[in-house]
Homo-oligomer: A and B are copies of this chain.
């Protein structure tokens, strides 16, 4: 059987642009993983890792115009957004280089011998070592920041793990270009190019997570695809950690006092957040609890006005466009649901943003569960509540989320503390008086949340994302000269360490 071709497609027209590659066979996946695995030893050098991450950032910046053009042609995200995404991506690579240099991710702990404990404590020196080859599943909606040169790749390389990346079919040419830049960066700093290997194809992705030499996986995508790979990872003879970011409703609660204070501003802010990038952000606010009554009406009016003025947008591919059109149609058809701005098809290749509203009390019947599921694209559901109890009732029915947002009055808001406590169990990031889109790459960031937001307790953005690719090992009573310098007496590398 001939190998399946991998085509780059223009989402603005639905037309194929060029053949980029062919899908990897099982044998090719095996060779890819073995090649990456052979590069493990070279990545043990932390200085080289930091240099690799910085060189990759530099090469991506240098090739910036070319990268942005390639990504725009395949994703229609536009040069402005992609320029920002590239800057975010290279900043992320450099920030992981800083994480590597700083060294606290090694989590060094040293216990000197203590015969008085039960049982006695020998000389114990613990740090974290790389897990091995990491499989990275690139996202559709961030062709750079959550794809080939994105956070999973950056954090895995920072941890000392070679990566085999399964390209997303929505941007194969961008993936090839970025992979070649990463491999060139490796060569430039004296590392094997195979610290980064790219494969294409759905079946290749399944083979990858099952490969005995793959030690962990990072995934950004749909609940269905992510869960299938999670299940495959768990069913292996030797199960591996699977860090998947699958889907998120990103609920927003607006208190009565906040609505009274700034209804127009809230509606406009929500419109901006939910239509950004054609609603294709994993943190898009997809479900909003707003009060009934005049102030709440004001939010909906402002939201409606702003969304009505939004130009139709191009989604990442036509399958997503179809899913969006079908998804909003199904939701809009539920009893009690109205559409102040009808979401749906725009032109032949675009979609129009829209808003659905419903009374919150309608949702407690259990027949409107679909409104509590993510609908990828520029739509949000505003549920109008009549009482504080209704908010709690609805929140208790929500699945896990990446974010949960609370809008309160600037001064004393009587509902603030209680609602914050109710939102915290629902999400990995809780925002007050802001909007969830725009995920800062920072030490204190957490981009993850209860299932299905993520399949683990980890983050895929920020300094602690590196923790996913490491495991601790403790050396007991090991002579100084045999220890890695990180663990030796006198702390020759000047690392942050805990000693007792």
Give me the interface of A with B, judged by CB distance under 8 Å: 84, 87-88, 91, 104, 107, 109-111, 114, 117-122, 124-126, 129, 131, 230-231, 234-235, 238-239, 241, 400, 416-417, 420, 424, 427-434, 438-446, 448, 450-452, 455-457, 459, 463-464, 470-479, 482, 498, 500
Q: How many copies does the complex hold?
A: 2
A430 to chain B, nearest CB (A): 5
Q: How far is the CA of A424 from the CA of B128 in the complex (A)?
A: 11
B459 touches A446 (CB 8 A): no
Residue in B235, B434, B470, B498 whose beta carbon sits within 8 Å of that of A477 in the complex: B434
Interface centre among A122, A131, A431, A472 (most CB of B within 10 A): A472
Partner of A476, one of B129, B430, B457: B430
Docked CA distance A432–B476 (Å): 6
- 22 A-B pairs within 8 Å (CB atoms) are namely A84-B118, A118-B441, A119-B438, A119-B439, A120-B438, A122-B440, A231-B234, A234-B234, A234-B239, A238-B450, A238-B451, A241-B456, A416-B479, A416-B482, A427-B473, A428-B473, A428-B474, A430-B476, A431-B475, A434-B476, A434-B477, A450-B471
Tell me which residues across on chain B come within 8 A of A110, comparing CB atoms: 444
Residues of chain B contacted by A424 (CB below 8 angstroms)? 129, 473
| Chain B residues, Cβ within 8 Å of A498 | 104, 443-444
**Shortest beta-carbon distance from A67 to chain B in Å:** 15
Closest residue of B by beta carbon distance from A498: B443
Looking at the assembled complex, report how far the CB atom of A42 sits from the nearest CB atom of chain B, in whole angstroms. Answer: 14
Q: Contact: B457 with A126, CB < 8 Å?
A: no
The answer, among B119, B434, B443, B470, for a CB contact under 8 Å with A122, is: B434
**Given known contacts A119-B439, A420-B482, A451-B239, is B477 in contact with A444 (CB within 8 Å)?**
no
Contact of A471 with B445 at beta-carbon distance under 8 Å, contacts A84-B118, A432-B482, A440-B124 already known = no
- Name the residue on B nearest A237 (C-beta): B451
Nearest residue in B to A429 (C-beta to C-beta)? B474
Decide if A120 touches B440 in the complex (CB within 8 Å). Answer: yes
